[in-house]
Amino acid sequence: MADALLVIEDEPLLGDELVRHFRAEGWEVVRARRLAEARRLLVEHEPLVVLSDMSLPDGNALDLLDATRSQTSTGEWVFLTGHGTISDSVRGLRLGAFDFLEKPCELERLDLVVAGAARSARAQRRLGEQSAAQNRRYAPDAFLGSSPGAARAREMLVRLAELPFTALLLCGETGTGKGLAARILHFAGPRRNAPLVEVNCAALPRELLESELFGHEAGAFTGARGRRRGLMEQARGGTLFLDEIGEMEPELQAKLLKAIEDRRFRRVGGEGEIAVDVSVVASSNCDLTKHVRDGSFRADLFHRLSVFALELPPLRNRKEDLVELVPQFIAEFNAKAGKAVRVVPDPVWERLRAHEWPGNVRELRNAVERCVLLSDSPIFPGGWLHLERDAPIPGSGAALDGERLALPLDGSMTIEEMDREIIKTALERSGRNATAAARLLGSTRQTLRYRIQKYGLKSDD
């Protein structure tokens, strides 16, 4: 179907000429001679472009634009006027009009302007459709589960998304869905049309994290050749998601607290303060109250963040939700990989329910992904689950040979499983001392600590 063009013109000769011309150009043209008629056609046809006279017998077309802009997908407006005023032009631009043309206007120029308006309208509609799809994807119903714990979490997400909070804390073990909850709070809330900016505080060293969050001025430190906008500034009007905030250094916590309280911050090396309206969602998989007691996390920042707090339940406490989560993940990876897995045998369900899922929903999703990608029939291949208490498949899995750790490249282990096995072996060799294990692996204790938590491993420190 051709794109719709609405012509609003009361002059018979000019109106007829515009209709003939644009129909010849391939447009589906509808015409209105009065504003009342145009209002009806806007709703019925949702035109891509509106080509309108300014003054109509029953009023000013700017009033119609003002009244319908937020109610219907009216596309771009181009105005034709023989006696428009400067004040009309200023008002029209403020209302979002695409252009103003004086009568009489050459058809060649009119074609160029209408073509530009059509490109702009199509781009806006694509953005609107993408935004709507994102909002649907991260609706509160995206937090699956019928268990009491999942139902409580979903109910709290619905209530919190309606609140104009400035800071919020998400708690729960690694893999329980804190990232999903943060996206639900953003896309289901009043800031959905503004940016969502995410940063993992455990993945960046302290010096880089401060620059990433608040930006820096040219010359603020070695290598700072130009000014850089920080993530908080990039999230203006939207949401800043700080994952694993417990790993943030206390000095940086103080600067974050001031930014949340005052809604102002200063770039690294900057002199003036920058005002910013942003909602901060923080998450942690560790007990922040313990960190407050030992002094590694500021009490004032903790109390500011925990005004609104949501604890997400571990999967081992809501195993009844497996019947919803597993089919959802199977459908997701069927679509991605072109597979057709449909049947999960009863023995597989028994193994899924017997497992304690230390990595929670993330571990479940990874296990389902591996099984679906390696499937060769509609039956879910439980042999590829590789759950911790399962017997290993002959010829697969890691093997320790003296000081060497052999990892298979036959597809029986994912990269994450190899990473987990390496870290697990290093911890065992170092007596579960994370500092010593980090030294063995040539890594930092901070990075290794994050990965230990991510994979549900244990260390003495």
The predicted-structure confidence for 29-53, as pLDDT tens digits, reads as follows 999 999 989 988 988 888 999 998 8
Helix, strand, coil abundance in the chain, percent, nearest 5: 50, 15, 35
Mean pLDDT of the chain: 85
Identity of the highest mean pLDDT range in 23-37, 127-141, 198-212, 381-395:
23-37
Q: Indicate if 66 and 153 belong to the same structural domain.
A: no
Q: Indicate if 121 and 156 belong to the same structural domain.
A: no
Q: Using 50, 70 and 90 to split pLDDT, how confident is the model at 350?
A: very high
The better pLDDT of the pair 23, 461 is held by 23
Q: Indicate if 179 and 111 belong to the same structural domain.
A: no
| Residue 283 predicted with pLDDT over 90 | yes
Nearest alpha carbon to residue 314 among 453, 450, 173, 140: 173
Q: Indicate if 145 and 130 belong to the same structural domain.
A: no
Please give the pLDDT value at position 63.
Answer: 86
Please give the pLDDT value at position 394.
Answer: 39
State the average pLDDT over residues 231-259.
Answer: 91
Please give the pLDDT value at position 207.
Answer: 73
Please give the pLDDT value at position 392.
Answer: 40
Q: Which of 32-41, 253-262, 394-403 has the lowest mean pLDDT?
A: 394-403
The model's pTM: 0.64
Boundary of a domain, candidates 285, 313, 341: 313
Instruction: Indicate which CATH number applies to the domain containing 180.
Output: 3.40.50.300
How far are the Cα atoms of 404, 411, 418 from residue 395, in angstroms, in the given order? 17, 11, 15
90 - beta bridge partners? none
The better pLDDT of the pair 5, 130 is held by 5
Q: Which of 91-95, 121-125, 176-180, 327-331 has the lowest mean pLDDT?
A: 91-95
Q: pLDDT exceeding 70 applies to what percent of the chain?
A: 90
State the average pLDDT over residues 55-65.
Answer: 85
Please give the pLDDT value at position 1.
Answer: 42
Contact at 8 Å (CB) between 222 and 203?
Answer: no
State the average pLDDT over residues 385-400.
Answer: 55
Contact at 8 Å (CB) between 436 and 430?
Answer: yes
Does residue 460 fall inside a structural domain? no
Q: Indicate if 81 and 113 belong to the same structural domain.
A: yes
Q: Using 50, 70 and 90 to split pLDDT, how confident is the model at 179?
A: very high
Tell me the DSSP string of 182-198.
HHHHHHTSTTTTS-EEE
Please give the pLDDT value at position 396.
Answer: 44
Q: Which of 190-194, 225-229, 357-361, 376-380 has the lowest mean pLDDT?
A: 225-229
State the average pLDDT over residues 432-459.
Answer: 82
Instruction: Indicate which CATH number applies to the domain containing 79.
Output: 3.40.50.2300
Residue-wise pLDDT for 367-379, tens only, equals 999 999 999 999 9
Please give the pLDDT value at position 400.
Answer: 60
Nearest alpha carbon to residue 352 among 377, 331, 313, 323: 323
Q: Using 50, 70 and 90 to split pLDDT, how confident is the model at 85?
A: low
Q: What angle do CA 161, 167, 171 make, to 5 degrees?
A: 80
Contact at 8 Å (CB) between 177 and 361?
Answer: yes
Q: Indicate if 115 and 169 belong to the same structural domain.
A: no
Does residue 210 fall inside a structural domain? yes
Please give the pLDDT value at position 338.
Answer: 92
Instruction: Indicate which CATH number applies to the domain containing 367.
Output: 1.10.8.60
**How far is it, in rounded angstroms, from Cα 20 to Cα 278?**
51
